[in-house]
Structure 1
């Protein structure tokens, strides 16, 4: 049986063909010798591991195949299809200051085809006209197929995968991927596809970020036993220089490439004790068009990718130690991400930080109470080259107490304290600044949060249930400079919510009456917002028709003067036909009366249809 694997890329033009156990490499002209080494080394290693794993797994599985399993396949239905489709349309009308489209549709669905009771072929899609006329690096419309067979999972179309926080972390791509998780210790994942589509620069469109077409590929290989685990992840992303006609250099957007390698390990030396760690190195080339060679200290990633003068290498390290004994848990963690660390496999990434965390949890009072405490210290400016350095202390505690089945209480508190040291420009002009008092540039930001929640089931029987819920939250934020809180540098937020809920079980009806109050002081101003909310829901026609109605009215005052009033009215209904069809409708009307802007009225209607089948 011939096994042929073909893979090509425009820039590299590399072709891999495998027949049996023979591996033949045909190299077309490439941009550089080191790029060829990257392709050959990384993919030969990955393919060798993948096919070795497949061969070993299939050979071991083949020994377990017997006549009874073949009979089971023969008795199963050849194809079983299940899934569902949902279609929704949203209509909007009003005179408020909004950019909403008057009509928007959403079409979503998932279909799964099961072959002979062994192979699953799930397919999902998401189509919408929301944001039409704009260009996106990642389109909101998605089509994906995720076939599975025992321990083999595939990802085809518009999908996303996660290898680790420092490499590929949930970034959507259009292409192929798979996960191999057999019963043995080996685990393999791989992907290849387009991370971002090309978006041309258009000065008339401010909401579209221009960018080059970006392709990516990666693989993760892990070996896991009961007492330990080791893993290796390699991820590569590269922009295509020729994908844009108008190059957005003036916006500091250049074609980039990124190579990330991550090593991770986990060990359990004794019962209840676990140590995990991950070390990652990212090589980021900020401009592929730079032809000058990189000077200075080299990195081990140079063996896979040469880079140029715009290439820089960054490291990230994270380690966690956890110990569990009976009902107690204690953990200590450390993380350091070098300044400038970035991976093109994630949408957003924080760098230039060092974290030290300690966490503890304990259950007591015969499992009726529990407490969890987290303490952490964070700082940035690790290279001491920023105009300001920040040190941050984080502490939180959560306490839960449930004296009975009818009463549940939780209390939480957190304290975030940030210490910042501002460096004036004179520190860079002169060796020592004698014109300013450095102490006056040191200030502390403190943010405290507290929350208390009580839920009391006042009545519970076969006919009805009644419950009272109370929630109080508080937040305080201040800026201290020289140990003094200046006038206008403090703000407090108070929120109180009370709700009483009644459910009539036999009648299929429920009522909720709530009252919310919010009081905020920001600088020298204070704001008070309060108002009631009433909601009713009921089920009719043997619970096939579910209806709901709610209304709320709130007033806002500032310094004792009325600022606004808002009236909301909402109604919804859902009807199930023949257990497979679902019709739903909702209507929302909002009337605002702003003292400074006058009256506005907005109405939103949603009509939807859902169909499920097995």
Structure 2
């Protein structure tokens, strides 16, 4: 144990911590209290910025942010004062190729770890990752963060992600701080603020340079109610800093953006078996914060303190709702969703917009729960504002069955049918047509896709010495197109068949597996076939402290009955556990590929070796 950690355990006694936390503090008294608290003063004066110090300081700052009383520290003096656990993982990857140019770096390393510090009920998890493979990325990959937790308080510090709703803040990574409070089952609060995007300067000498402004954002969500009835309100705001770059990106038509979103969700059990759930969000976004400010005929015009309407501003709405009724053995429901064209927020990476869908759902169980049925069918359309050159209407339906024939035989069957109708309109047709019936069906086409699968699993035998299992799966897919009521092409068909057999010998801790697969794809002029077997084995050694494994597979690819390629893949590996805390593993892969139609790279080999080490520790 380091000198710093020994000092903390010695000076951070239950009496001193409890007496310190009994003080009711505010922002004006923090400075004086920190001076009185001796462990903090020592850490501050010595300037020892170690992982221990950072964790302790963060714990103290969180404690100071509220008015903690003695009843919040009931565990003081009970059990260990400080417990520490975590792990470190190191992986090295070596690569070599013969007969072809290297398709990856010859050497890469990956370092990751986690640390959890617990202090009288406080939990402070810290994680980090680092790799030389991502050194050229413009956005940060090597990230560090922690989420300390104590009872109903959770803080997020460093690189973290949070979610308010599907349409507001949804899993976006940020560098900053967040807080989640659940003082009771009927009250939940979440807040966050941080950097959503790092600034990237324009550099024309770099290939793939994507300049960007620094983007900061923050928001909050409050949920009131329990399982039967609840309502939540949320807001999220993000804006680019137009002063974060030395270069004016307006010359390449990249402008700073601003976004403000309001959201509301509702969940309620209307009757005993009838439930409702829905949410709605309003997003205002300016694609250029340097454009002229205006007065907009919109609710956001009254919220100018949070969002300034501009010439470049747009306003969108997104909503969804679901109604479900539960019978004794079945459930019926209806789901609806509508997202305006162009809807997006700066708190999410991707949105499906310009869509409206409605669907009916059903699930039930029969034959003493041996048969399960799940079905869904509905309609989806786009071009909600009639501004696009084409519109789409898609019917979709799916059916899933799961049937246990006997305790040793289980079958599954799935079917789905998706029908898409696309109506193309050229600009001339859009502006010159006299009636809605002009050019009817001339450029319309329908795309149909059908999917079906069947699976059977057999348990051939199971006893103390031997276990055997046989699994078979079949899949079929077909797609076709129609235009003006006539078939335009034969579409494509896809068949897949795979089967596997496994045997486990309990006394010798040996597992053997044999499998094979066949894939056939048929199009108008081409027919491709891929097939091949594979064999694998795994053996546990030394009272389950070590294991070795190996596998070999061979796959052949043909196009129109002519050999396209053949691939032989060999894998060997092993792992060893030392005193339950140290894990060593080694994996080696060799691939031999033969392509007779490639004159420059007819045959080549690749070799990959991975050496890893994992260390887990705990002070308990």
Which TM-score applies when normalising by structure 2?
Answer: 0.86
Q: Secondary structure at the match of 2:492?
A: strand
Matches of 1:348 and 1:164, distance apart in 2: 14
Q: Which residue of 1 aligns with 2:374?
A: 372
> Are positions 1:170 and 2:171 aligned together?
yes
Q: Secondary structure at the match of 2:141?
A: coil
Shift of 1:404: 2.5
Q: Which residue of 2 aligns with 1:91?
A: 94
Q: Which residue of 2 aligns with 1:4?
A: 27
Q: Which residue of 1 aligns with 2:80?
A: 77
Superposed CA RMSD in Å reads 2.3
Q: Which residues of 2 match residues 127-146 of structure 1 at below 5 A?
A: 127-136=130-139, 139-146=140-147
Q: Secondary structure at the match of 1:349?
A: coil
Contact 2:284/2:300 (<8 A) preserved: no
Q: Which residues of 2 match residues 184-199 of structure 1 at below 5 A?
A: 184-199=185-200
Change (3 A) 1:312 1:98: farther
Q: Which residue of 1 aligns with 2:467?
A: 465
Matches of 2:270 and 2:438, distance apart in 1: 55
Q: Which runs of 4+ in 1 moved over 6 A?
A: 433-436
Change (3 A) 1:496 1:307: same
Matches of 1:126 and 1:244, distance apart in 2: 28
Matches of 2:484 and 2:206, distance apart in 1: 46
Change (3 A) 1:251 1:524: farther
> Are positions 1:115 and 2:116 aligned together?
no
- 1:79-120 Cα shifts (integer Å, max 9, x gaps): 11112111101111114456422111111111111112x111
> Are positions 1:265 and 2:266 aligned together?
yes
Q: Which residue of 1 aligns with 2:420?
A: 418
Q: Which residue of 2 aligns with 1:11?
A: none
Q: Which residues of 2 match residues 266-345 of structure 1 at below 5 A?
A: 266-290=267-291, 292-294=292-294, 297-300=297-300, 302-303=302-303, 304-345=306-347
Contact 1:200/1:211 (<8 A) preserved: yes
Change (3 A) 1:250 1:560: farther
- State which drifts further: 600-609 or 176-185: 176-185
Q: Which residues of 2 match residues 137-286 of structure 1 at below 5 A?
A: 139-249=140-250, 251-286=252-287
Shift of 1:283: 0.4
Matches of 1:418 and 1:562, distance apart in 2: 36
Q: Which residue of 1 aligns with 2:452?
A: 450
Shift of 1:571: 0.9
Count, aligned residues? 556
Matches of 1:367 and 1:271, distance apart in 2: 23
Matches of 2:321 and 2:279, distance apart in 1: 6
Shift of 1:451: 1.3
Shift of 1:251: 4.8
Shift of 1:558: 0.8
Matches of 2:227 and 2:506, distance apart in 1: 49
Shift of 1:221: 0.6
Contact 1:120/1:149 (<8 A) preserved: yes
Gaps of 5+ in 1: 7-49
Shift of 1:199: 1.5
> Are positions 1:125 and 2:128 aligned together?
yes
Q: Which residue of 2 aligns with 1:604?
A: 608
Matches of 2:249 and 2:97, distance apart in 1: 38
Shift of 1:153: 0.6
Matches of 1:5 and 1:309, distance apart in 2: 43
- 1:318-358 Cα shifts (integer Å, max 9, x gaps): 11111212221112111111111101100111111101121
Matches of 1:54 and 1:420, distance apart in 2: 58
Matches of 1:357 and 1:342, distance apart in 2: 23
Change (3 A) 1:399 1:4: same
Q: Which residues of 2 match residues 28-39 of structure 1 at below 5 A?
A: none
> Alignment partner for residue 479 of structure 1, among 460, 476, 481?
481
Change (3 A) 1:565 1:184: closer
